[in-house]
Structure 1
Amino acid sequence: MILPSPHADSDNWTLTTTPVRSPRGAVAAQHRLAARAGAAQLEAGGNAVDAIVATAYALNAVEPWMCGLGGSGFMVIWLAREQRAVALDFQGTLPAAIRLDDYPIDPARPHTPMGFPGVVDDANIAGYRSITVPGAVAGLDHALARFGSRPRAEVMAPAIALAERGLQVDWFTTLQIALCAPTLARDPTSAAIYLPGGHPATPESHLRIPQLADTLREIAAGGAETFYRGELAKQIVADLQAGGSRLTREDLAGYAVHEYAPMLASHRGYTLYTPGETSGGLRQREMLSHAGAAMPVPPARPTPATWVAYAEALEACWRQHKIRTGVLPPSAGEDVNGGNANGESIDGEHGACTSSMSAVDADGNMVALTYTLLNRFGSGVTLPTTGMLMNDSVSYFDPRPGYPTTMAGGKRINSSNMCPTVAVKDGEARFSVGASGGNLIMPAVTQVAALMMDFGMSLEEAVQHPRLDASHRGSIRVDPRFDAATLAALESRFPLEIAQSLVFPKLYACVSGVARDPESGECVGLHDPTQPIGGGATPAPFQLDPLTDTAPEVRP
């Protein structure tokens, strides 16, 4: 059965993207300028960790709606000389004083992107009560101090320069703002920045985020210490509490990054490293195990049976995930066409956000980083004293009592779709891949990785290959670029939704990655073709283009 889709014939673009190549390393990110900020660290003699941290900080100024200082996430690092992988969990934590009474369930509200019930006034997804302790600064500072090689001030210099320049508004930026205009309008500071005159900022205008450059400078000077226990912490908490948050100085001061051995999965001679059970890594391992059993010896190229095996594997691992998190009851049947516990389809990824980036250096060190504000523009709150856009990660938690992810004081986010992955074979990091897109992340990342491992595809071939999406929500979504035989095989097994790969909504996630050939040393960086501002970069000094600095400035 083919289900009607509003995205079946809504566009007619043929989307491709060109990889960057260099023997000295490469960076891929959801914004080209951020990738260049990272690649500049390689040019200056830094390593892949320096590059990824510079990239992540730069995104605060060029893609603030997806991630930033007010967010949280995961990182996986392959240390070539030590022949080992490290995972960093810098996920957010709930205020110690959080109360379920602050989040009464409203049956009229839609489910959150994580599949949990909506609450009155959207208090778990918008505004000050939706904010958790952000782990991003702690995670980036930890990575740089432990595994980087360059001074923090130099690594953060491009981000500061970009914040000083301000945000150049193009059509894609206007789209992002317009999608979240009602949430941004709830917060006076955010509205003043992104909705000048009460309307989304228009293309060819210029937005400056007040205090952001100064905040980045203070972090460059004082690191995580000032953010969590120093002067910045004082300013952050004052703003939060003035807006109604229950976060305290003690909540910030007690925050800690978790460094640990990552989860691994073995597939076709590769070892894949992910952050583990609280990320999409467990589902990835389950999917690959299921697909490997269904396809012990892959054919030369993917066949219709390949895609049926991938879809069945994704459905199976997502069903188990939804049982583990309480979205489905333990007694849920085996029907792959299920939804949530109420029989509804959970498909909140259209509003989800995240940013994923990867880096590799000439020595073979490789890093995958994914971090997020959760929803696009997070809570919609910009802290007036620091210019930080804050997360809405309270929506990672269930507002109902008695579930594995129920809200509780100090609780750390323990269920995420993020799935940064580093793949190693014969002691060499071969590729790193991650994605943004909520529920879409793990299926997309795992398909790209599987195509490379099962069929020897290059990163470019795998990222640009048609994908499907399956997450035990009631149907399988399929790109119409698949051949007729594949579509027929999938339709014989699942209700099918034919939907194009679009700039918006991103129905198959937004993938970025790097790869390295250990024989030639060539490094490749590539970003998803549906992200018009994304791209890769190779080592070069970081320079702003003076031609883009002449637009009229819009001040709040």
Structure 2
Amino acid sequence: MRDFQTPGRSAVRTTQAMVATSHPLSTLAALDVLREGGTAMDAAICAAAVQAVVEPQSTGIGGDCFVLHCPGGGDRVLGLNGSGRAPGRASIEALRGMGLTQMPTFGPHSVTTPGAIDAWFRLSSDHGRLPMARLLEPAIAHAEDGYVIYDRVAFDWQIAAPRLAEDPASAAIFLPGGAALQVGDLHRQPALAQTLRIIAQEGRAAFYDGDLARAMVAHLQSLGGVHDPADWAATRSDAVTPISTGYRGYRVHQVPPNNQGLTALVMLDILSGFDLAALDPDGTERLHLEIEASRLAYADRDRHLGEDPGLAARLLAPGHAPGLRAAIHPDRRIESLPEPELATSDTVYISVVDRDRNAVSFINSTYHSFGAGITCPQTGIIFQNRGASFRLDAAHPNALAPRKRPLHTIMPGMVTKDGHAVMPYGVMGGDYQPAGHVHLLANLLDYGMDLQQAIDHPRAFHDGRVVQVERGVPARTIAGLQDRGHEVACAAEPHGGAQAIWIDRERGTLTGASDPRKDGIALGY
């Protein structure tokens, strides 16, 4: 039980259905769908659409999504890869001919085709009950009638303002009067409202084969992009078989590569050989082990991860983690590891369980804040910059190639046990996500924290150079990390954001929680 004399909030507890998102308007819209008899998938799609309007820095219909789903709350986990691909005319040679030695982070060459809308329609057809037009109604209303800017949204908006100013269409929509919106301001997106209305009326084809597609492609071409209408027309989401590993008697599931969920599973395999429960959850020893496990797992990711379908089997093989674990010394950092530059970014994650115990773990993103920094003026669609993850090294598994998917950071999680779904969960935050998943799971399964406490708990992230610690990490713990050779800095921004719903079959209850690092809320009935 939490200390009621210190800041914090209780987890949300109910019996029938639960939604947890990073924005109150999203949670409320999804809850209305559930009350109307919609499925967990209906509610998740509705929530994602609302957030594509009210959290424009974090997500949009110009982005991608990944989903894990346990029908009926069993332990059969279904996966969907809704990530887009590089243009058919993309090439390493062309970008190197422009003098580039690495992928640009922003601009037209960072834009991959948007996969989210195709995924939403497929998920609705396969697992939904309500029509897509109904699911898009709240998003259309918010875009047309206006929505109030929340605190974390405003915080991110301010940081992204200089990049938005570089793109005339983005500036016109998101910098009215030449400045980022403030907390409490009212904002409208009429072009996006019309786009969503067309999709609601005409369906998936309007986005990938109709006037909307032609407008998006034409705008990217006007900026120097090599995109083609055929790239949009070829976009399809793919059903995938989730990958998993065991941890403390539970099964943890992730989407396979090109998704980085494998990185979290490798971390769990490494840490399963340590008795974390015997360590202080706020202490140096615990964080040191997590940091070192993350450095080893991220090194694996950056060496190997691409679209290779056999990679998961190799990295989750019984003999792999022990070799990595043996490199960890309890009293000093590993000196011989490569140090990639890792970064956090903006995303929305949605967790839903309905009255039939369908459990959905759903994540949607445009990658960096406001994606590629490009907005299509005719449609109001923000383009994602997922192509920034590609390498310009033809020998690398994540090398840029025509119609190829890049390494993807956004990763929904699912926990099962004894034939049942236990927890759809996710932790947003770009490269931080594998470390965030593992920290949350250890809080729950090693330290027995309740769901909200586990999410609230202070975080640390080794960004490839230094350990960035949130202000809640104790001074004694920071000193201990420094004694072990880690360079430590205070994080300028919080690490990620999380949502989760715990399903207690025995008692017939649901417990939901949402991260105070975002604006969101968990609600149920």
Superposed pair shares fold, TM > 0.5: yes
CA separation of 1:191/1:319 partners in 2, compared to 1, >3 Å: closer, same or farther?
same
Cα deviation for residue 275 of structure 1 reads 0.4
Task: Name the residue aligned to 1:505.
Answer: 493
Please say if 1:48 is aligned against 2:40.
yes
Counterpart check, 1:423 vs 2:415: yes
Query: Residue 272 of structure 1: which of 252, 256, 259 is its match?
Result: 252
In the alignment, is residue 435 of structure 1 matched against residue 420 of structure 2? no
SS at match of 2:516: coil
For residue 373 of structure 1, what is the aligned residue in structure 2?
366
1:387-406 paired onto structure 2 within 5 Å: 387-406=380-399
Q: Secondary structure at the match of 2:381?
A: coil
C-alpha displacement at 1:263, in angstroms?
0.7
CA distance in 2, matches of 1:139, 1:258: 8
The CA deviation at 1:98 is: 1.4
Question: Per-residue deviation at 1:172?
Answer: 4.0
Which residue among 90, 95, 98 is the counterpart of 1:98?
A: 90
8 A Cα contact 1:475 1:494, kept in partner: no
Aligned to 2:481: 490
1:63 aligns with 2:55: yes
Once the two structures are superposed, the pairs formed by residues 58-457 of structure 1 within 5 Å of their partners are 58-80=50-72, 83-104=75-96, 118=102, 124-170=104-150, 172-295=152-275, 298-299=277-278, 302=281, 304-325=284-305, 336-337=334-335, 340=338, 346-349=341-344, 352-413=345-406, 415-457=407-449
Q: How many residues matched? A: 496
> Aligned-residue CA RMSD in angstroms?
2.7
Unaligned runs of 5+ in 2: 1-5, 307-323, 328-332
TM-score between the two structures when normalised by the length of structure 2: 0.87
Contact 1:31 1:534 (C-alpha < 8 Å) held by counterparts = yes
Which stretches in structure 1 are left out of the alignment for 5+ residues?
1-13, 110-116, 327-331, 540-556
Query: Contact between 2:426 and 2:500, CA under 8 Å: does it hold in 1?
Result: yes
What residue number does 1:36 align with?
28
- CA drift at 1:199: 2.2
Match 1:517 to one of 490, 504, 511: 504
1:494 shift after superposition? 3.8
> Which residue pairs with 1:538 in the alignment?
524
**Residue 146 of structure 1: how far off its partner (Å):** 0.7
CA distance in 2: counterparts of 1:167 and 1:313, whole angstroms: 42
Distance 2:366 2:215 in 1: 20
Report the secondary structure of 2:375's partner residue. coil
Distance 2:156 2:506 in 1: 42
CA distance in 1, matches of 2:160, 2:456: 29
The residue matched to 1:65 in structure 2 has which SS? coil
Identity %: 28
Which residue of structure 1 lines up, in the alignment, with residue 313 of structure 2? Answer: none
How much does 1:245 deviate?
2.2
Q: State the 1:487 CA deviation.
A: 4.4
In 2, are the aligned partners of 1:106 and 1:118 still within 8 Å (CA)?
no
2: CA distance, partners of 1:452 / 1:308: 18
CA shift for structure 1 position 483 = 4.9
Match of 2:330 in 1: none
Q: Deviations over 1:427-467 (max 9, x none)?
A: 22221221221111110111101221223322112111222
> Could you tell me how far apart the structure 1 residues matched to 2:178 and 2:449 are?
48
Which 10-residue stretch deviates more, 249-258 or 213-222?
213-222
Q: What's the secondary structure of 2:199's corresponding residue?
A: helix
Distance in 2 between residues matched to 1:176 and 1:474, nearest whole Å: 23
- Matched residues in 2 for 1:339 and 1:105: separation? 32
